[in-house]
């Protein structure tokens, strides 16, 4: 008897969770429940993108055209807010001296073959990239995470292969600083002079420099995949970049000394630094037609067992469900933990506004990617790119 009474007292209550708890415990179920209602966990529709708010060039040294911030070394910047996520991109620069050891100058016969190989890649060799360092703030210290590393690398490679940044645009057209008779300095830039007294041949310098661009991308409040946001922010920032003019001192422009010690002779070249002009700058000439914007899509199968049904006609619907025929949907602009963890089939696209696609990445994981899905996502990404490209105005 005692046993039966204890058995009677056991009651099993169905456990209910508030939506946000369910989303943590079972992201998959939470996602399916939402999708069955025609919305996503972030309450967007299937093909709805997050709105993007941007602020360009407010952090750079050239932010205020009349008043250059001399202690600031940021050349271009962008703050992008999409949903809850904030991406801050700042572009800084460096200068590297070009070594003349180009592959074409080599006499070695063995290099011929290598030259043939590289010839095919010559077009790409005309383009440069930026060196991005992505930091996703997530309350940890220490080494960078895999995500940060892969995003940085992908940004770097994608910019190179999108042919956005021609190497020519990064060449330093160096000026020469000379001391005037009264002790003041003036800087002459060969391309700015109109008279021929000091034209380029006069100031011809043997050494060449080019700018190197670094991007620091900080992601605050990460809620989902962030490659797209980083890429778009970087695109906006790159368009706002201004390169400072640089010059060298005339006394150092071509100084060589031959010295002889103990019968050996050597040439000493004076080492001198190239200095950037405090005020003068030129806009970075990027390939504007190759500027592309990123968007991503996920493909998910609707699980009929997770459907939320109306209590009135639940029995009728039960009959309709065909287990063999799974319904797949395309979801644009993935966000939230639920979508990130349970959608494994993704499409990532870089599209230029003119309908010029730069990159397409397909990841098949679970749900089947159909050609219709790919077509649809290509179309959407183009619309998205058109929209995003209109946001840029200085």
Query: Quick one: which of 27, 41, 76, 132 contacts other proteins (CB under 8 A)?
Result: 132
The CA distance from 379 to 373, in Å, is: 10
Rounded CA separation 2/8 (Å): 10
Considering the rule CB under 8 A, would residue 97 count as an interface residue with other proteins? yes
First to last CA, the chain: 84
Q: Name which of 64 and 317 has its Cβ closer to other proteins.
A: 64
Selected from 23, 52, 59, 380, the binder of other proteins by CB under 8 A is 59
Q: Given the complex with other proteins, which of 6 and 67 has the nearer CB atom?
A: 67
Q: Under the criterion CB under 8 A, does residue 102 sit at the interface with other proteins?
A: no
Closest-CA residue to 127 (of 102, 87, 96, 158): 158
Calculate the alpha carbon distances from 264 to 247, 257, 260, 267, 268 in Å.
34, 14, 5, 10, 13
Binding of residue 30 to other proteins (CB under 8 A): no
The DSSP bridge partners found for residue 127 are: 166
| Shortest distance (Å) from residue 170 CB to other proteins | 11
How distant, in Å, are the alpha carbons of 33, 93, 227, 331, 339 from that of 40? 9, 42, 20, 9, 8
The 259-278 site mask, x for binding other proteins (CB under 8 A), equals --------------xxxxxx
> Does 186 engage in binding with other proteins (CB under 8 A)?
yes
Q: Given the complex with other proteins, which of 273 and 372 has the nearer CB atom?
A: 273
Beta carbon of residue 268, minimum distance to other proteins (angstroms, whole number)? 20
374 forms part of the interface with other proteins (CB under 8 A): no
d(CA 134, CA 366): 29
Question: Per CB under 8 A, which region of 151-159, 257-265, 318-326, 361-369 contacts other proteins?
Answer: 151-159
Q: Which residues of 158-178 are buried (b: 16+ CB within 10 A; e: fewer)?
A: bbbebbbbeeebbebebbbbe
Name the one range near other proteins by CB under 8 A: 34-42, 95-103, 325-333, 386-394: 95-103
Residue 32: CB minimum distance to other proteins, A = 23
Angle formed by the axes of helices 146-161 and 227-239, nearest 10°? 50
Strand ranges inside 240-384, DSSP E: 242-249, 256-261, 264-269, 275-283, 293-302, 327-332, 345-352, 356-363
String of contacts with other proteins for each residue 62-81, x by CB under 8 A? -----xxxxxxxx--x----
Q: How many Å apart are CA 147 and CA 219, to the nearest integer? A: 12
Using CB under 8 A, pick the residue from 36, 118, 178, 223 that binds other proteins: 223
Binding-site string for other proteins from residue 152 to residue 181, where x marks contact by CB under 8 A and - marks none: xx--x-------------------------
Per CB under 8 A, residues contacting other proteins are: 59, 67-74, 77, 84-86, 88, 90, 92-97, 131-133, 137-139, 141, 143-144, 149, 152-153, 156, 184-187, 212, 214, 216, 218, 220-223, 244, 246-247, 273-280
């Amino acid at each position: 008897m005692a046993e039966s009474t204890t058995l009677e007292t056991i009651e099993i209550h169905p456990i209910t969770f508030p939506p946000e708890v369910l989303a943590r415990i079972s992201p998959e179920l939470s996602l399916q429940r939402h999708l069955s209602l025609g919305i996503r966990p972030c309450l967007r529709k299937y093909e709805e993108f997050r709105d993007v708010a941007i602020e360009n060039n407010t952090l750079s040294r050239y932010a205020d055209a009349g008043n250059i911030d001399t202690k600031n070394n940021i050349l271009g910047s962008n703050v992008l807010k999409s949903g809850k996520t904030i991406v801050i991109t700042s572009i800084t620069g460096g200068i590297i001296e070009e070594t003349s050891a180009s592959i074409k100058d080599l006499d070695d016969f063995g290099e011929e073959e290598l030259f043939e190989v590289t010839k095919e890649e010559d077009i790409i060799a005309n383009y440069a990239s930026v060196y991005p360092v992505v930091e996703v703030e997530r309350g940890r210290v220490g080494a960078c995470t895999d995500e940060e590393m892969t995003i940085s690398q992908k940004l770097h490679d994608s910019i190179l292969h999108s042919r956005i940044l021609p190497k020519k645009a990064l060449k330093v057209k160096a000026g020469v600083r000379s001391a005037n008779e009264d002790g003041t300095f003036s800087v002459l830039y060969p391309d700015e002079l109109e008279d021929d007294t000091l034209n380029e041949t006069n100031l011809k310098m043997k050494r060449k420099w080019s700018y190197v661009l670094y991007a620091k991308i900080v992601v605050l409040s990460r809620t989902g995949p962030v490659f797209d946001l980083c890429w778009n922010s970087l695109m906006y920032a790159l368009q706002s970049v201004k390169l400072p003019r640089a010059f060298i001192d005339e006394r150092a422009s071509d100084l060589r000394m031959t010295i002889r010690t103990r019968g050996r002779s050597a040439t000493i070249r004076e080492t001198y630094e190239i200095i950037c002009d405090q005020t003068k700058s030129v806009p970075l000439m990027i390939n504007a037609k190759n500027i592309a914007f990123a968007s991503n899509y996920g493909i998910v199968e609707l699980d009929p067992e997770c459907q939320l049904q109306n209590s009135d006609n639940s029995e009728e619907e039960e009959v309709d469900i065909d287990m063999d025929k799974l319904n797949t949907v395309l979801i644009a602009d993935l966000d939230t933990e639920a979508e990130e963890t349970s959608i494994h089939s993704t499409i990532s696209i870089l599209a230029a506004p003119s309908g010029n696609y730069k990159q397409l990445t397909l990841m098949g994981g679970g749900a089947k990617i159909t050609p219709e899905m790919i077509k649809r996502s290509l179309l959407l990404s183009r619309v998205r790119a058109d929209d995003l490209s209109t946001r840029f105005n200085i």
